[in-house]
Structure 1
Amino acid sequence: MRGRVCRRAVVPASLRLFRGFHLMSGSPAEAPLISLSGIGKSYPIANSAAGRIRTLYSLLRRQPFTERYDALTDISFDVRRGESLGLIGVNGAGKSTLLKIIAGVVKPTSGDLQLRGRISALLELGAGFHPEYTGRQNVFLATALMGLSEQETRGRLDDILAFADIGEHVDQPIKHYSSGMIVRLGFAVATTVSPDILITDEVLAVGDESFQRKCIAWMENYLSNGGTLLLCAHSMFHVQKLCQKAAWIHDGRLHAYGDSNRVTREYLAWHDARNAPKAQDHALAIKSGHYAVLSVTLNERPGTEGITLPEGAALRIAGRLFSPDGRPPTALVGFVRKDGMPIYGVSSEMDGHVLSRVSDNEFSFELELSELTLLPGAYTIKAHALDPEGYRLFDEIVCDLIVTGESRELGACRLPHRWNTL
């Protein structure tokens, strides 16, 4: 089934990057502004003359491509008035393709798309600018494409130029602009009207810090006034700050959808786990006659199974270490992020604690944390076996730790604090 898009007006694809337009304005107010059902997008793979002929034949016959790349597969979700949704995922996951389908730049191969209300898409800031025109002339050109009259543009010109803040360069041809200046002018022009739906693709990843703050402030004001935002970003901070919900696109499919804090945490945990170093084989240390970790438990459960705890819960880490010479070894316990970034570590030698002897070559330890101050997220607990002096590390066992809860704080742990009124 070919993709079906329900629209009221047809706008050339080259103009849709700027232009806001009305879609199904007569639809019920309670209906979603954006409704996607089974959206898919495929591109033909034609690496030879024969492949290009087959592709052309498929297009003429309106048949599926014999050899194709599926950029999107079965994407379904709704965005209602006043909601803000963040699209996240690695490069190449299909986020930009999905935004272009919603903006009307690209037609879906399959599925059904319904759009309602006035849409403004900031997919490529500066698209539609004429390189030989000055910045001021391009403002009038771009606003005309958005449906504003010359008189309306003149009434808003001071605000546009103040937002862009490019000074005297506004009267120079934009072919001499830096990429950051073009982005400033493009965003300033595109936000002169307040659409029902604002679609942005990595807008906050370009420009300097002051421009990013200005963009965020504008978006927050837009949302506070009832606007609907669809934001594509690699910054999980921006998604958590600006978006109520998040959609994680992975390999062209909707991997997770829901509360932005929960989905971004799952995405960061997956991202960290993908970059995490591989664990060592502790059995090799035993065979080599070195100090080794025999076992680890987390709250009396096998450490190899991992553990999930609510934020602030108590945690007991216990284990047994092997000593080849019968001397009490040193136990070291560390907490790290999934990508290997250390958070905290402490050893029995640091605290002057001697491990309990279980047998001639086995010793036990237990480390108790009465309250975990880690923020919600995915972590790794590493239990190490060191020599009695605590100088050399010989072996480790790696355990997974998931901390659950709701928090917008940054970092990995919570520090006791309070805000004072001066």
Structure 2
Amino acid sequence: MSADGVPAPSLLVEAQGLGKRYPKVFQRRDRLRALGALLSGRGDIDSIQVLHDVDLRVQRGESLGLIGENGAGKSTLLKLIAGVLTPSSGGVTVNGRVGALLELGAGFHPEYSGRDNIAMSAVLYGLSAAELRTKLDEIVAFADIGRYIDEPVKHYSSGMVVRLGFAVVAALRPDLLITDEVLAVGDEAFQKKCVRWIEDYLADGGTLLLVSHSMYHVQKLCRHACWLRDGTVAGYGDVFDVTQAYLAYQERRSDQAARPKTADASQEFAVVGVDVNGSADERALVLDGGADLRVRVRVRSRDGRPPIVAFGLVRADGTPVYGVTTEMDAVTPTRDGDTYVVAVDFCALPLLPGGYSLRVHSMDTEGVRAFDTIERAITIRGSSREFGMVRLSHRWHDVSEHPASRVPGA
């Protein structure tokens, strides 16, 4: 409810066709040229587009994580929503009070003490002197920076600046909390305090826009995620689906060897066909956790000898997960003209959500040399905060019911 008793709109943030351009000012003459164009009212300023046609809708009570590489446009988008920047195209509407923790120290006067900066921030947020007096002790206690509260902010460490900024926002409890890498600064104890506060804030109906490179925190605190890449929306939706797609993209970029290779039919043993779950499509296969993986491979043998076919599962960054060959399991591929065919099922894959690759290798009959390799990308989707690559079957025990079953020394 608003102050006049009117129900608050459920749509808190709406951005339509949002875009932002910055003039190119690499050299002094660029700045003069940009200034001249602005003063004359010309729209032909040589500029860099950092955000392109972004549509975004955030409902009250929603928690949205913004993810992407450095320079993708995340901070620019937050500043546009917070009203710090003016869009070059499109528009954004916010139906509520915003509490923004953006650039480190933004909004604080370096010559003023922490206590004076609290008072200044309170005025900017619209608090009266009486309201500030009731909240001042709470803010100082949350910041927990001791005697430095009366020292100039220019003497603060980066962690102390974040403590002060978060303490002010925590006391105000805005309709929309915007944070940019807040959980990456400060000591572990304060990070835990911030996480607990954000969880309580969300439980009370607060709305969160969180920028972080920590997928752990994004998955922990957010229900949805928006992936920005080169200033455009590359993915939007359920937090686990979007973050897993982003991590798989990052892992594949880091492993140049993971690029698919085109088969050379002139080789002695060439992989000429790979069907994965009944499809020869080279696009990434998306599977739910625990699904079956069925692979059918056709290898051309130039001299008619039967090949050995090897199968490997690797993380998208190239880390091996599992490998097996037809020779290991005493399987001989079936001859079909000048080709050999082999099929294998990997049942109930125990892989954790993330990006993987299936590698198929054709080897000579003696298993000495690999002649050809084909890769297929696989994305395992699902919601999980477990660590590693595989899910191991396990069972928890209540030791209070069976105290004698405890392992000595455990």
TM-score normalized by structure 1?
A: 0.80
Partner of 1:197: 176
Partner of 1:230: 209
1:196 Cα deviation after fit: 0.7
1:413 Cα deviation after fit: 3.1
Task: Tell me if structure 2 keeps the 8 A contact 1:123–1:199.
Answer: yes
Task: Tell me if structure 1 keeps the 8 A contact 2:311–2:359.
Answer: yes
Match of 1:264, SS state, is helix
Can you list the C-alpha shifts for 1:77-114, whole angstroms capped at 9, x where unaligned?
22121111111221111111111111121111222222
Is 1:273 the counterpart of 2:252? The answer is: yes
1:272 Cα deviation after fit: 2.8
Amino acid at match of 1:385: S
1:120 Cα deviation after fit: 0.7
Structure 1 spans left out of the alignment, 5+ residues: 1-22
Partner of 2:167: 188
For structure 1, which segment, 247-256 or 42-51, has the greater mean C-alpha deviation from structure 2 after superposition? 42-51
Relative to structure 1, is the Cα distance of residues 258 and 304 closer, same or farther in structure 2, using a 3 angstrom cutoff? closer
Task: Tell me if structure 1 keeps the 8 A contact 2:240–2:381.
Answer: no
Amino acid at match of 2:280: P
Residue from 320, 323, 335 that aligns with 1:342: 320
Can you list the C-alpha shifts for 1:319-353, whole angstroms capped at 9, x where unaligned?
2456788776543211122222222223344x442
Partner of 2:344: 367
Partner of 1:118: 97
Can you list the C-alpha shifts for 1:148-204, whole angstroms capped at 9, x where unaligned?
456655544554344334445545554443322322233223322111111111111
Residue from 337, 358, 361 that aligns with 2:335: 358
Structure 2 spans left out of the alignment, 5+ residues: 400-410
Partner of 2:404: none
Partner of 2:406: none
Partner of 2:43: 64
Identity rate, percent: 49
Partner of 1:39: 18
Is 1:296 the counterpart of 2:274? The answer is: yes
1:354 Cα deviation after fit: 4.1
In 2, Cα distance between equivalents of 1:257 and 1:215: 26
Is 1:96 the counterpart of 2:60? The answer is: no
For structure 1, which segment, 336-345 or 159-168, has the greater mean C-alpha deviation from structure 2 after superposition? 159-168
Task: Tell me if structure 1 keeps the 8 A contact 2:309–2:360.
Answer: yes
What is the RMSD of the two structures over their aligned residues, measured on CA atoms?
3.4
1:242 Cα deviation after fit: 1.4
Relative to structure 1, is the Cα distance of residues 201 and 394 closer, same or farther in structure 2, using a 3 angstrom cutoff? same
Residue from 255, 279, 283 that aligns with 2:264: 283
In 2, Cα distance between equivalents of 1:343 and 1:137: 56
Task: Tell me if structure 2 keeps the 8 A contact 1:273–1:338.
Answer: yes
Number of aligned residues = 396
Task: Tell me if structure 2 keeps the 8 A contact 1:122–1:203.
Answer: yes
Amino acid at match of 2:312: G
Partner of 2:8: 29
Is 1:218 the counterpart of 2:194? The answer is: no
In 2, Cα distance between equivalents of 1:92 and 1:58: 26
In 2, Cα distance between equivalents of 1:354 and 1:78: 55
In 2, Cα distance between equivalents of 1:211 and 1:354: 58
Partner of 1:78: 57
Task: Tell me if structure 2 keeps the 8 A contact 1:41–1:109.
Answer: yes
For structure 1, which segment, 34-43 or 135-144, has the greater mean C-alpha deviation from structure 2 after superposition? 135-144
Task: Tell me if structure 2 keeps the 8 A contact 1:355–1:364.
Answer: no
Task: Tell me if structure 2 keeps the 8 A contact 1:36–1:78.
Answer: yes
1:252 Cα deviation after fit: 1.7
Task: Tell me if structure 2 keeps the 8 A contact 1:312–1:372.
Answer: yes
Relative to structure 1, is the Cα distance of residues 171 and 386 closer, same or farther in structure 2, using a 3 angstrom cutoff? farther
Partner of 2:296: 318
Can you list the C-alpha shifts for 1:7-54, whole angstroms capped at 9, x where unaligned?
xxxxxxxxxxxxxxxx99898623522121222211122456664454
Partner of 2:402: none
For structure 1, which segment, 308-317 or 45-54, has the greater mean C-alpha deviation from structure 2 after superposition? 45-54
Amino acid at match of 2:264: A
Amino acid at match of 2:309: A
In 1, Cα distance between equivalents of 2:191 and 2:310: 43
Relative to structure 1, is the Cα distance of residues 262 and 280 closer, same or farther in structure 2, using a 3 angstrom cutoff? closer
Amino acid at match of 1:344: Y
1:414 Cα deviation after fit: 2.6
For structure 1, which segment, 125-134 or 34-43, has the greater mean C-alpha deviation from structure 2 after superposition? 125-134
Task: Tell me if structure 1 keeps the 8 A contact 2:18–2:54.
Answer: yes
In 2, Cα distance between equivalents of 1:109 and 1:306: 36
For structure 1, which segment, 377-386 or 23-32, has the greater mean C-alpha deviation from structure 2 after superposition? 23-32
Relative to structure 1, is the Cα distance of residues 294 and 37 closer, same or farther in structure 2, using a 3 angstrom cutoff? closer
Can you list the C-alpha shifts for 1:258-282, whole angstroms capped at 9, x where unaligned?
2222222232233333333234555
Match of 2:75, SS state, is helix
User: Mapping of 1:340-419 within 5 angstroms?
Assistant: 340-349=318-327, 351-356=328-333, 358=335, 363-386=340-363, 393-407=370-384, 409-419=386-396
In 1, Cα distance between equivalents of 2:368 and 2:140: 63
In 2, Cα distance between equivalents of 1:207 and 1:57: 43
In 1, Cα distance between equivalents of 2:360 and 2:82: 51
TM-score normalized by structure 2?
A: 0.82
In 1, Cα distance between equivalents of 2:336 and 2:91: 68
Relative to structure 1, is the Cα distance of residues 387 and 213 closer, same or farther in structure 2, using a 3 angstrom cutoff? farther
Partner of 1:19: none
In 2, Cα distance between equivalents of 1:41 and 1:298: 42
Match of 1:192, SS state, is helix
Task: Tell me if structure 2 keeps the 8 A contact 1:199–1:229.
Answer: yes
